[in-house]
Every structure is written in C-alpha cells, then in structure tokens.
C-alpha cells in the first residue's frame, strides 16, 4: 500500500502550501517519480499533500476514504483514530494510520476506485463517526473527493514529520456503494452526481468552484457559488464557517454568517458555467462538464 503510487492511468494533484496559505500551488502528477520531484523542491519549506482521488478522463475515482482526527487532547484524538484503524485492519482492509505532523492523525482506507456522490461519501464517514463514537473526527473534510492529504515522510511546517504509525496490508478494498447509497437526487456515478435544487433547476458539481474556494482570498462570486452548493447539500453553518476559517486569510465569522443567511433567505441560483467561464474560473478539460467557449458575446 504505497500512498503515492496509484494513478489508474489518470492523474492526481500534488499540492504545497505555506502555514498562512499565502503561498502554494497544485500540480497534476501522473507518477510517483513526478511526486518525488515536487517533494524534493517543496518538502521542509511548505506543507505537502496529494489528492485522495485519481482523475480519469476528468472524473475523480476515490482511492482512499479519509478520516481526520484533531483535538487539543492529542491522546483522545489518537484513541479515536486507532479505534477506527483497528476496525478496518481487523476486517482485512488495506488501511493506514498516520500522524499529521501537527496535533492530529489521519486514517486512510483503500477503496474500490469509483466516483462516489458527495452525500454518499459523507454518509459513510458520519456513520463511522457516530457508530464508533469518534468525537474527535473532523467533519469539515467529509464528502470532499478532491481533498489533499498530507504525505507521510513530509514535514508539517508548524509541527514535526508526518509519518505512518500503523499500516495493514489486507486483502480487501472498501466499497462504499455496498453501505451507502447515492442521494435520491443524484444520478449514478456515470452521470456524476447531478441534482435538483429547491427551485427546480438542475445543477451538477462545479470543480472550478471546489478548486478556487480554497484560495486564501477567493473572489466573491466563487464564495457565493460555494455557499449555494453547500446549502443545496444541507451542510451546516458551523461546517461552512470551519471551512472558511481554515482556508481564508480574511475570515470574519460574523460577516460570513451574515452572508450565508442572506443567500439562504433569498434562495439564489448558482452562477452558470458560461458565467464562470467568462470570468476566467473555468478549468477546461479537467472538468467533466466542460464545453469549449464559443466566442465573445455581444455587449
């Protein structure tokens, strides 16, 4: 179970970021060799991570089901992480328990590589959190198939080395579909989780928004679009604020909460792909919904 060795003839994302997130970038990588080259350049200077999914023809295929454990009581965080790791290892699944290099731990469970729905992913993560009583399991990373996770052997710039504490080489990969069904408003993975909004419009996922929302100071339309998506997915205000606090250097809890509630009360609609494309946020062929721009509009 080599964490940076699986790509399924697609690509993953290597990312590096500074402690204040003012410096950083993401790059497509298609081999372990490419990852090592980036690590040689950035490890020790920045935090380094790699996506938990590989992207085949633009579609994310989840490789590892992630769980993040954080607490001021580091012993409690470890106990929760080990409880989950022990469950999967004793069930003969490929899995690992890593120190994050800071004050937390990661448990990664190798999955049957598929495109899973957001709610499908969150449901299974919440199931284990509640069933095993994992009070230190961090909910704000849940449902994110494009998540970057720290690479064992790299340094946390505010802590120590991220390293693997336990690893189980089992005979099974975890198939989320056997335990968590897609949301009733989501299509099959082949149609990639399109869903219906409260006002009857049809939406799909927006990889461009998911990418740019993690910028230190996202543009206002990206923040707006992200909140609309979160509200449609019934994400709590607390989880949205936790996310904003983690990524945005201009985070203001009162102003963020005001904007969330204002958008919710107005039942606003999501910006179209054309609008996002015109404003320069489109990520092109990396998006499964990409359609080439057809020229300058009349003004």
Reported as a single tens digit per residue, the pLDDT across 89-111 is 999 999 999 999 888 999 999 99
pLDDT in tens, 116-171: 888 888 889 999 999 999 999 998 778 888 889 999 999 988 778 999 999 999 99
Low-confidence ranges of the chain (pLDDT < 50): 184-202, 293-299
**Segments in 43-181 forming alpha helices (H):** 74-90, 118-131
If phi > 0 it is left, if psi is from -120 to 50 it is alpha, else beta; for residue 200 that is left
Would you state the pLDDT for residue 58?
Answer: 75
Would you state the pLDDT for residue 183?
Answer: 54
Would you state the pLDDT for residue 190?
Answer: 38
Residues of the chain with CATH 3.90.920.10: 12-178
State how far the Cα of 170 lies from the Cα of 168, in Å rounded to an integer: 6
Would you state the pLDDT for residue 172?
Answer: 95
Would you state the pLDDT for residue 24?
Answer: 77
State how far the Cα of 275 lies from the Cα of 176, in Å rounded to an integer: 35
Would you state the pLDDT for residue 297?
Answer: 36
Would you state the pLDDT for residue 261?
Answer: 87
Domain 12-178: homologous superfamily in CATH:
DNA primase, PRIM domain (3.90.920.10)
C-alpha neighbours within 13 Å on the C-beta side of residue 65: 29
Q: What are phi and psi of 267, to 5 degrees?
A: 50, 50
Closest CA to 163 of 97, 75, 84, 262: 97
Six-digit token string for 297: 């509009």
Give long-range contacts, CB 8 A cutoff, 24+ apart: 228-233.
Answer: 228/263, 228/268, 228/269, 228/270, 229/203, 229/205, 229/270, 231/260, 231/263, 231/264, 232/195, 232/197, 232/198, 232/203, 233/118, 233/119, 233/143
């Amino acid at each position: 179970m080599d964490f940076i060795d699986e790509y399924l003839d697609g690509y993953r994302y290597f990312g590096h970021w500074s402690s204040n997130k003012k410096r950083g970038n993401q790059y497509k990588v298609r081999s372990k060799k490419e990852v090592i080259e980036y690590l040689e350049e950035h490890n020790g200077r920045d935090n380094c991570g790699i996506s938990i999914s590989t992207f085949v023809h633009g579609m994310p295929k989840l490789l590892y089901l992630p769980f993040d454990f954080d607490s001021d009581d580091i012993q409690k965080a470890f106990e929760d992480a080990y409880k989950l790791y022990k469950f999967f290892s004793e069930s003969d699944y490929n899995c690992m328990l890593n120190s994050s290099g800071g004050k937390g731990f990661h448990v990664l469970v190798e999955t049957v590589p598929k495109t899973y729905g957001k709610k499908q992913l969150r449901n299974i993560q919440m199931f284990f959190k509640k069933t095993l009583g994992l009070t230190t399991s961090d909910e704000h990373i849940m449902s994110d198939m494009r998540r970057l996770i720290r690479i064992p052997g790299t340094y946390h710039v505010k802590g120590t080395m991220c390293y693997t504490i336990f690893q189980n080489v089992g005979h099974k990969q975890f198939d989320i579909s056997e335990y968590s069904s897609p949301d009733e408003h989501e299509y099959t993975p082949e149609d990639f989780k399109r869903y219906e909004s409260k006002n009857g419009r049809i939406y799909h996922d927006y990889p461009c928004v998911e990418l740019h929302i993690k910028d230190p100071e996202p543009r206002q339309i990206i923040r707006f679009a992200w909140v609309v998506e979160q509200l449609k997915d019934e994400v709590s205000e607390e989880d949205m604020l936790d996310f904003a606090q983690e990524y945005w250097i201009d985070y203001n809890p009162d102003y963020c909460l005001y904007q969330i509630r204002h958008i919710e009360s107005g039942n606003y609609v999501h910006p179209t792909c054309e609008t996002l494309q015109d404003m320069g946020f489109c990520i092109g062929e990396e998006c499964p919904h990409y359609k080439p721009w057809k020229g300058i509009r009349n003004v």
